[in-house]
Structure 1
Amino acid sequence: MKLLKKLSEIIEKIEISHAWFTTFSFSPAFFEKYVLASLFNIEPSELRRLEDYEAINEQLKTVNVKVFYDPVGLNVTESKKTTCDYIPVYFGLRNLEKMEGLFHPKVCFLFGTNKEKKKTTAYLITGSANLTHQAWGRNKETVFVDEIDKKNGERIHNFFTEFFPDTQMLLPKGWYNSLRKDNSNWIFRYIFKNSDNFDGNNILFKDFVEEKELYVWSPYIDADMINLKKEINISGKITLIPGFKNAKIILSKEEYNELSKYFHFMKDERNDIETFVHGKLWLSETKLCIGSWNFTKAAVCGDNFEAGVIIEGNFARFKDGLKELKIEDNHFMTENELKEEQLPKPNKIKFECTVIADWLKRQYEIKINTNKTLKINLPDSEIEINGERDKIVPFINIKKLGIKKIYEVFENEKKVFTGYIQEINTDYRPVYGYSSLNELLNNFSFDKDSNKRQGERYLYGEHNEESGDHYQLKTDNDYINYYSLFYLTESMIIKIEEIETIDRKEELEKKLSEIAYSGANSVEQLVTLAENWIENNIDNKLVMCWFLQNETNKIVRKINNIIKDKKLDLRELDYVKLNESINDKFEKINKINQKWIDYVRA
């Protein structure tokens, strides 16, 4: 992937603080495994399981990464494995209320500090490539990459502000004033009809109105451009180089014949007609435009939100591979094929819905601007909205949220929107860890002398001579033994006591957060796994359930005693209540318990 390699080269030069992306088509699976991994110098081959992505989540705590996408172009079949912010851009709302097109720009903005020069720097990657595997790996795309100067920095700042008002807060004030001097031969350009900067005359075509010749590479072409050419009164010759997909152009024979009366068609011999050429390029004698603009009226007149760069210079070499287009009937798409290739219609949803998972408060914050009655499916619950603009919903099952980060909105039992949950205060988020209590307990069960799992001795048939009890370590997730449980309790209490001795406030809070909430062996994860185990086994393993509840609560009380903010107290379990008839069994097990406490403390 050439583009991924280019991104990696930039990452080697700068210490990134912000990485913001815009895209139309969006594949979260591709973005997380390749682009995010590249941002944080992680090999994609290392990302196989959900827990492998925790390395990325740690990095996301210090680097501001956001993806802005059109909901129409989202691949909702893919799961979200990280805490990265994926923010839909809704047309038809706020300053976008008159928009009739698509959110279509493909921009990557990287901001940070030059590692060698120790100065503020920023880079721009823009062109035709969406955040998908096809765009970065298989298609032929046009892409522009360069360091940003002061003039273009301000333009890029304004671009993000158009659809993301929080830009002003999340980027340093006047950050672009610290960039290199204005000596670039290119200018960043964005167009959409309802922008404060749109005066009705700055459509893309007018940048080339006085050029004698204009060459346009575009996979999508529409007949409305005939009327636009007449309206603007462009007298220069316009040559179109259509992109091929599966050896066909994305036009019917009738459309091609009509367009041929006003535009000259050529073929780029450098492109294999079997490979989808998705690149968009506008070329004249003195200018080159690389961006997201197709040769369609919606793109060039501002119905769509588009962006790219216009470069000054002589780029005649780009015409070297052009030859007359000799097209046969089998090079045109059928009616059904054209329907499949049609760009999606704009999302007509007339409300905005955002779901934020707050890990500090352990609740969802639902923000919605409609008076309609809607149903929202969250990862762990289902709620109804009856005209409320804001709603708070407590977490019910944090494990489900860790695995499924999607919410769905229904109106009259019909799904009208699917989006990704945004996450805040992720320092308090538990990492994706063990799938069962058995795994968690066994992780702690190490022989201190041999650095070998103590439990393995029981796996091979060893037993406690004094009590006569046999503690075989079974592989099924429903089995736990007293040794592992008592060992875990004392190990975690020792760890908490060690944390209590830390003097530095910042380090104390970090370590406390890890063992209480966010670490792989956190107390919160123990509570969740213990609760699930008790619910599944209370009918036939009552004594073990009682001990598990008792030992878990002992750890919870220990950690709660040193948490300053009582709102964050971890809850104790209260499932099992025993009568006195089984006290004899308790006395026997408590002897074993004390033995392992002595062993751990030794």
Structure 2
Amino acid sequence: MKLLSAFKKRIDEVGTVQRVWLTSFVINIEFIETYLLPAILGMDPPKLRMDYEGMQQVLSERGIDIRVFCDKRFIEPDQNKRTAIPVHGISPERLLPNDEVVFSERSLFHPKVIYLQGEKGSVLGSGSANLTVDGWGRNQEVFSYMPLASESMAESVRNFFSPLFTNVQERFPEDFPVLSQPEDSGVSFCHSLAGRSFLTRLFENAPGELAVWSPYFSRDISSYVRNLQNFADAPNLRVQLVPDRVENQHLRSEWNQGLAELHGQGLLSLHQSPIKRDDRSFMTHAKLWKTPDRLAIGSWNFTQPGSNLIPDGGSPSHNVEAGFIISDPSPLTEFVGEELPLSEALFATTEQMEQESLRVPEPPPFDLRVVFDWQIERFQISGVWVGKSEPEGGFELKLPGLSHSVKLQWVADSRGDAFVLEDLELPVSSTRPLLVNRSYEVGNGLGFSSKGLIIEKRPIFRRAQQYEDLRGLLDALVLSGGEPPADDAAYRVQEDDDGQVLVDVLGSVDTDLVSEHQHQSTDISYFRLFSACHHYKELLSNCQDQRELEYWAFIRPGCLQELVEKTEYRIEGSSSPSLFNWFLSQEVSQLCSAARAKQAQLPGKGSEKTAERWEALIVDEPALPPSLSDEYRAWLAGEYSRRSSNREAI
């Protein structure tokens, strides 16, 4: 894929990657995760789920800010999303107008923009390619990259992305680059959200002719051309179109007599592409506008909403578009091929237009934001009612990891001019379902159903790996001398070649069905238990800061939280009191106490968000076997009490 090769080249140019922001009209999540993410991380393309989990771990460790923005109505939540890359759905009707460029429920979020930032600088890309396999591998597209080198370019990029962050209830980063270099007048980044409109910039020098590549056209091209001529104050503006034709037959527009009149006046002509089309190409999806002195590469189609043209009469509605306008004196003849004879046969019938027309899904009457914070293991839910009527009751939210539905309650905001969702914060008892299912569902019991993607926050705390059992964890601690490699741990979720989930290591076996021999002291020796816990205590004592301590407490495979979970799992699955289990609970409890003591000792307060998780690091003491004498029971209790009171702070 040529676009992928160009993308990799730009990744190399910016050096160590810090930010990757992507926008698209439609997306294919698997394409992004399978091709773009490995390019960003410099890793091999993934094949199995564990490969995706490995990439996610590297992404979290490097702290790269990667996110995707697309039209909320065209997100397909049922796609097999395997990483925590946030996918934000944009609601165009909630974007503020830009002078005469206004948005409504008919507007589309249509820009295709890539922003790359690294330690060597920033690069901006824009063109016609959506984030799909077709866009990057099957269509003929046009896409260009420009260095972010001037103050005006950086400000234009900020003015483009900042409203998108606001639209999806995210905070725009304060450390976005501010450049002081003089403006490069040869290239400008033009978009619908700020600054002068596309056609105002393109027609600044009152051109006499225009060439356009576009796959999509106004239904009535002749009226649109007349509107262009009026807008440009150029009644003799000559327009040359290079269309994509469906199955190489007809344009996506209807014939009328106005076309013949324009053609007869020499003001409109249709042309073949000057570039031979690859027979393997699905379509020519490129959007390109050329005047005698300027070249525009972006997402602008030859339509009123797509070019942000103000129509004659009626209320305007525009799409969100973006691209580059470049100073280019090359002749228009380089951009158009052989002229096509203009006839009704080149245009679609009414039935064909209906087949080709874009069907925009009906969105729900609210914008819902569902976030799962891996650090505190809680859902955070907020929303805004965007329906034309007052909020309706009966909507219920279903979330992975919660056994019950959650009712959505809408209240007037502080200004009284909108309705918002009562903020919800919901803990989960198990994070296992979120390793597989990253979508939520809203229904009202009356046939309405809507799905969306969950935004995963602080995925560094997302524990994708763990040891298959307690013995494996303790063995790794002993054999490694206190710091087991992550490669020893299995992935909690695995797939077969068809993408079907095979194993959920944590909880994959019902505790009631575990055979008795797994809970006898003979399967783990006392020496191994005490040796492993000794190594773990040394490991905790060597933590240099709060972040490293949290890493060993909650994040990495074999963390303290996992040790607690496996200890409880073993004890709860035992059919009778066990002396080994009693020792196990004592050793793990003392490790938890030592870790909390270390947390208090280290500089800083640590993360307040993990306070509840620290408090949950505790193991209930199980009963001792009834066969033990009272003297031995008393000695055991006294010995561990003495060790606890005399324990040195680690």
Asked whether 1:104 is paired with 2:100, we answer no
Distance in 2, Cα, partners of 1:486 & 1:335: 81
Deviation at 1:287, TM superposition (A): 1.2
Distance in 1, Cα, partners of 2:221 & 2:344: 23
Distance in 2, Cα, partners of 1:430 & 1:168: 22
**Cα-to-partner distance string for 1:530-572 (whole Å, 9 max, x where unaligned):** 666777x566999998887777656545544544464332344
Partner of 2:541: 501
Partner of 2:207: 211
Distance in 2, Cα, partners of 1:27 & 1:540: 52
Distance in 1, Cα, partners of 2:621 & 2:255: 71
- Decide whether the 8 Å contact of 2:223 with 2:258 is kept in 1: no
- Decide whether the 8 Å contact of 1:51 with 1:431 is kept in 2: no
Q: 1:423 to 1:206 in 2, by over 3 A?
A: closer
Distance in 2, Cα, partners of 1:519 & 1:423: 18
- Decide whether the 8 Å contact of 2:526 with 2:580 is kept in 1: no
Asked whether 1:407 is paired with 2:440, we answer yes
Distance in 1, Cα, partners of 2:35 & 2:561: 31
Distance in 1, Cα, partners of 2:227 & 2:334: 27
- Decide whether the 8 Å contact of 1:356 with 1:424 is kept in 2: yes
Moved more, 94-103 or 214-223: 94-103
Deviation at 1:299, TM superposition (A): 0.8
Determine which of 502, 508, 521 is the counterpart of 2:558.
521
State the TM-score, normalizing by the size of structure 2.
Answer: 0.72
- Decide whether the 8 Å contact of 2:474 with 2:532 is kept in 1: no
- Decide whether the 8 Å contact of 1:410 with 1:417 is kept in 2: yes
Distance in 1, Cα, partners of 2:335 & 2:144: 20
Map 1:50-199 → 2, pairs under 5 A: 50=50, 52-60=52-60, 62-93=63-94, 95=96, 98-114=104-120, 121-148=121-148, 149-165=150-166, 169-172=172-175, 175-178=177-180, 180-191=181-192, 195=193, 197=195
Determine which of 401, 405, 409 is the counterpart of 1:380.
401
- Decide whether the 8 Å contact of 1:376 with 1:410 is kept in 2: yes
The code of the aligned residue for 2:178 comes to Y
Deviation at 1:430, TM superposition (A): 3.4
Deviation at 1:224, TM superposition (A): 4.1
Deviation at 1:235, TM superposition (A): 2.3
State the TM-score, normalizing by the size of structure 1.
Answer: 0.77
Partner of 1:357: 372
Q: 1:448 to 1:11 in 2, by over 3 A?
A: closer
- Decide whether the 8 Å contact of 2:553 with 2:559 is kept in 1: yes
What secondary structure, in the 3-state scheme, does the structure 1 residue paired with 2:272 have? strand
Distance in 1, Cα, partners of 2:480 & 2:456: 39
Unaligned runs of at least 5 residues, structure 1: 115-120, 453-475, 591-602
Asked whether 1:264 is paired with 2:279, we answer no
**Cα-to-partner distance string for 1:489-508 (whole Å, 9 max, x where unaligned):** 546533432234337xxx43
Distance in 2, Cα, partners of 1:158 & 1:215: 29
**Cα-to-partner distance string for 1:254-288 (whole Å, 9 max, x where unaligned):** 44887565442211152246521111111122111
Deviation at 1:417, TM superposition (A): 3.5
Distance in 2, Cα, partners of 1:83 & 1:270: 40
The code of the aligned residue for 2:202 comes to D
Q: 1:582 to 1:246 in 2, by over 3 A?
A: farther
Distance in 1, Cα, partners of 2:57 & 2:22: 18
Distance in 1, Cα, partners of 2:384 & 2:319: 23
- Decide whether the 8 Å contact of 2:19 with 2:65 is kept in 1: yes
**Cα-to-partner distance string for 1:109-150 (whole Å, 9 max, x where unaligned):** 122332xxxxxx321110011111221122111101111222
Deviation at 1:64, TM superposition (A): 1.7
- Decide whether the 8 Å contact of 1:250 with 1:341 is kept in 2: no
Partner of 1:437: 469
The code of the aligned residue for 2:67 comes to K
The code of the aligned residue for 2:547 comes to K
Q: 1:300 to 1:161 in 2, by over 3 A?
A: same
Kindly report the root-mean-square deviation, in angstroms, between the aligned alpha carbons of the 2 structures.
4.0
Map 1:559-574 → 2, pairs under 5 A: 559-564=595-600, 566-569=611-614, 570-572=616-618
Unaligned runs of at least 5 residues, structure 2: 98-102, 263-267, 309-316, 386-390, 411-420, 485-507, 601-607, 637-650
Partner of 2:417: none
**Cα-to-partner distance string for 1:434-484 (whole Å, 9 max, x where unaligned):** 4843795487388679xx9xxxxxxxxxxxxxxxxxxxxxxx965747545
The code of the aligned residue for 2:364 comes to I
Deviation at 1:153, TM superposition (A): 1.3
Partner of 1:600: none
**Cα-to-partner distance string for 1:571-600 (whole Å, 9 max, x where unaligned):** 4455976762699xx99xx9xxxxxxxxxx
- Decide whether the 8 Å contact of 1:492 with 1:555 is kept in 2: no
Distance in 1, Cα, partners of 2:588 & 2:258: 76
Distance in 1, Cα, partners of 2:480 & 2:194: 68
